[in-house]
Amino acid sequence: MKQNVKNIAEHYFIVLLGFFSLISQCARSGEFLIIDKAITWDENAQSAFYMFMPDATMPSNWMYPDDYYNGMIYTRYEILEVATRIPCGMQFGIFQWKDANHTVCGELCENIRWLENGTGSVAENGSSPSTWWESYGGVDFSKISDLQSLSPTIWSKDPRSPIARPGQGGDDAGEAWRLRYNWFPITVRVTVVAVSAGSAFSGWDYYIGNTPPNSDVFEKYLLVYPNPGSDGLFNIQTDIEPPFTLEVLSTDGKILKSTTVQETLNPELSLQELNQGIYIIRVLGNNFTVARKIIR
């Protein structure tokens, strides 16, 4: 008799375990991780923007069957190390080409999240992209293949501006850029999670816990070296199989050079005709796109 009771109890325990496991999976069915990464702006940082592209783990359509535009995007910023305790801000933005020639870029950006107390400061927030600030028509979540980039951006509080050069996102007077060493070097753990309309967020404990951010999740798909490349010659290594399109963009998103790579996995790229400065290398494959900043 006791053995039968024990067997029944074990049976129901297994059933309940499976039930709660199913509930947990359902809770995350309309949810995906956009980025969890420790990002460093060091003394030689050239931009306030950390640009990357959606990868194969993310949906190709963010409107159907799951609606993320009217859902929520949760952002968490944690300063792991910073030069001073002067407050700074973080903002997550989405940028999308609005025309076939890639001359107009729509923007969709959350409110700035302020980190007030230096190392150890944390800002956690959730908001709907449908309420975010937008320009040039915003972003069509059904056309993720047209994205120019996703980007966490670091801000100065006074002046209120991205910590970037004038003409590259910074204030016209260049004051935030002049004061960049108030913060640089700085390392911020950035975690961004998208949750569709009608779905529940799993919570930060599920994503943060005791696990370190994945610093290699984007680097493994594209390597450009030497970087900086003073002679204008760069080697490209990527896991994306040819044929793929290799593009060179200016920091404001203008395509300066485009070529189709048919065979070799490790092409050489010459930018000797371009002036010295910062550029974006982008590889577009059949089902994967990735970008990397380079210095010419």
Which pLDDT tens digit goes with each residue over 131-162? 999 999 999 999 999 999 999 999 999 999 99
Task: Confirm if 211 and 217 have CB atoms less than 8 A apart.
Answer: no
- 203 and 226 in a single domain? The answer is no
- 144 and 248 in a single domain? The answer is no
Q: Looking at the whole model, is its pTM more than 0.75?
A: no
- 151 and 200 in a single domain? The answer is yes
In a domain, 21, yes or no: no
| pLDDT (0 to 100) of residue 229 | 77
In a domain, 15, yes or no: no
| pLDDT (0 to 100) of residue 78 | 93
Task: Confirm if 143 and 96 have CB atoms less than 8 A apart.
Answer: yes
- 105 and 180 in a single domain? The answer is yes
Q: How far apart are CA 77 and CA 42, in angstroms?
A: 17
Domain boundary, last residue among 171, 192, 214: 214
Q: Which domain holds residue 226?
A: 221-295
Question: Of all residues in the chain, what percent carry a pLDDT higher than 90?
Answer: 50
Q: How far apart are CA 53 and CA 151, in angstroms?
A: 9
- 40 and 89 in a single domain? The answer is yes
Give the residues across from 49 on adjacent strands.
153
In a domain, 88, yes or no: yes
- How do strand 122-127 and strand 289-295 relate by DSSP bridges? unpaired
- Residue 14 pLDDT more than 70? no
In a domain, 23, yes or no: no
**Looking at the 3D structure of the chain, how many domains does it have?**
2
**pLDDT, mean of residues 17-34:** 56
**pLDDT, mean of residues 101-117:** 95
